[in-house]
Amino acid sequence: MNKLNLSSEKIDRCRSLANTIAEDVQSFINKHSTVTVERTVLRLLGVDGVDEFGVPMPNKIVDDIVKNGDITLGSARYMAAALKNSSSGMEDFLTAYSANGFSICDYPLTTKAEVEPILKPYYEKHLDRIRANKKRREDYLQIYPRTKTDLYVIVATGNIDEDVIQAVAAAKAGADIIAVIRSTGQSLLDFVPYGKTTEGFGGTFATQENFRIMRNALDKVSEEEQRYIKLVNYASGLCMPEIACMGALERLDVLLNDSMYGIIFRDINMQRTFIDQYFSRLINAYSGIIINTGEDNYLTTSDAVTEAHTVLASQFINEAFAKKAHLGEELMGLGHAFEINPDIENGFLFELAQAQMAREIFPNAPLKYMPPTKHINGNIFRAYQQNTMFNMVTTMTDQTIHLLGMMTEAIHTPFISDRFLAIKNAKMIQKSMKDLGAEIEFKDGGIIKNRAEQVLDEALDLLYKINSDGLFASLEKGVFADTKRPIDGGKGLNGVFKKSDEYINIVSEKMEEFFNEN
């Protein structure tokens, strides 16, 4: 599939530069941890629930260590000490800790060598559960036929029970992937809400119980429809690794997972979120969850013609970060979008060039292709036309994860009927244009080839510049999406700390061992 005849030498150079850029950030990541990482370690040891005031137990314990102990040693050190000295299991300890008001730092610390044998029964239980979930997903995908392009729709009622009704309706209409949109602002919460929720704003709170409820509903409809319906949620934000953990425990299939999205569009501190991203992606790799990256969002704040190369450059960088977290290509849902103003002459050809270029450069990645949104307005007929053109490019270039555009995008959250029409539109294009892409060759010196070569050249130039400046400095300069973010600004910086020489993250170590052995 090399219709564009792009320079393999330039592509290899882009990958080499992206790897160097990611290596520089990874060296920082390796020396640091965050309060979110430490809360995630506790969750993977079995810490769950809330205290009498509704504070999640992982937050309560980590806040206790920050105040009364030495968080640079890691939460695992303190949990091992508590379990060793309290003569009780995890559940009994949490009950007593929640009720009696003592500090987890009251116990004599264990040595670093003692941590693993004490915590082994706890981390093994949860890692076994994650591997069992991965196996169950693989079994479903063996039983039920896979589609080349998965149709992806969202539900966003704020009430998980209503979400289930809408998700089941969408699946029965032909959707392959259901994304449950999070409540507005959840990415900025430095805790994960607990339990079932029925009152969200613009979406439904991401909680482990809500994940379980939707997963059970989609398993049931999968068996009825004889198609495995994938479940998506959002792990970007201040609780990225915690949500990845919950997704792994409840068998989600796809997670939006991209630090640069959080930095640029949610003003989350870049130091905090790159550290969190690494651990979250390690969990996703271990559990077989596909990540989705957020490059498509760049084109909502910058021009899709002049800034297309920033999407490609970011895709290369995200690929490099993903590899460092052991994610295989089959789990890298790199993002891009159909966002060129439809009034631009030959804009459709530019869109086709961009999509074909992404498909050829990342041939094994389950690319996430976003519909037109920026230039959608209240004219639903024009919106339907734009979405049809988007569906054509998707089919012609074999995109993998196809987010459906809604004709009422600019008016309201889609009704069930809007989703039905979007699914029927996409399915008609998939069928009527099924092999069109295989029939087409692009003219040497033509608009499509020239456009793809131009974007690749500009991406290479940008990667040279980012490599020279460093990614942190480049983000400060606003290299992506015309948005500048300071390295010491944004939300969550106070949750970052440098690891002690005696630091231990037993869960991360065991996952790394797994990948090194396999």
Q: What is the pLDDT of residues 494-507, one digit of tens each?
A: 999 999 999 999 99
Q: Which residue do the tokens 């998965």 mark?
A: 150
Cα separation, 51 vs 193, in Å, equals 12
What is the C-alpha to C-alpha distance for residues 430 and 359, in angstroms, rounded to an integer?
17
Q: For residue 1, is pLDDT > 70?
A: no
Pull the structure tokens for residue 170. 């969408």
pLDDT above 80 (res 87): no
Residues of CATH 3.20.20.440 domain(s) within the chain?
146-452
Please state, for a pLDDT cut of 70, what percent of the chain lies above it. Answer: 100
pLDDT of residue 518: 82
The band of 2, judged by pLDDT with boundaries at 50, 70 and 90, is confident
Closest listed residue to residue 390, CA positions, set 337, 452, 451: 337
Please give the pLDDT value at position 14: 98
Give 141-165 pLDDT, tens digit per residue: 999 988 899 999 999 999 999 999 9
Token pair 């053109």 is found at: 389
User: What is the average per-residue pLDDT within 446-469?
Assistant: 98
Whether 101 has a pLDDT exceeding 90, the answer reads no
How many angstroms separate the Cα of 422 from the Cα of each of 172, 173, 174?
Answer: 13, 10, 10
Mean residue pLDDT of the chain comes to 96
Written as one string, the DSSP assignment of 71-139 is GGG-HHHHHHHHHHHH-S-HHHHHHHHHHH---GGGSPPPPHHHHHHHHHHHHHHHHHHHHHHHHHHHH
Per-residue pLDDT tens digits for 391-432: 999 999 999 999 999 999 899 888 889 999 999 999 999 999
pLDDT digits (tens, 9 = 90+) for 102-121: 999 999 999 999 999 999 99
What residue has token string 């804009």? 347
What are the residues facing 498 on neighbouring strands?
32
Q: What is the largest CA-CA distance in the chain?
A: 75
The DSSP output letter for 180 is: E
- What tokens appear for 142 in the block? 């063996």
298: pLDDT strictly greater than 70 = yes
Angle, to 10 degrees, between the axis of helix 112-143 and the axis of helix 270-287?
60
Q: Which of 155, 151, 94 is nearest to 122 (CA)?
A: 94
Task: Find out whether 440 and 403 touch, Cβ atoms under 8 Å.
Answer: no
What's the pTM value of the predicted model, to 2 decimals? 0.96
Tell me the mean pLDDT in the region 20-28.
Answer: 98
Catalytic site positions = 261, 296, 368
pLDDT computed for residue 88 by the predictor = 80
Average pLDDT estimate for 464-479 = 97
In this predicted structure, the answer to whether residue 86 has a pLDDT above a threshold of 90 is: no
Which candidate, 44, 19, 497, 499, places its Cα nearest to that of 272? 497
- Is 146-452 CATH 3.20.20.440? yes
141 in Cβ contact with 228 (< 8 Å): yes
Burial letters 421-444, b for 16+ CB under 10 A, else e: bbbebbeebbeeeeeebeeeebee
Structure tokens at 236: 């970007």
Going by C-alpha positions, the residue among 300, 320, 323, 299 that lies closest to residue 311 is: 299
Tokens of 167: 């998700």
* CB contact burial 485-495 (16+ within 10 A = b; e otherwise): beeeebbbbeb
pLDDT at 78: 97
Q: Is the pLDDT of residue 357 over 90?
A: yes
* Lowest mean per-residue pLDDT among 93-107, 168-182, 281-295, 310-324: 93-107
What is the rounded distance in angstroms from the CA atom of residue 287 to the CA atom of residue 276? 17
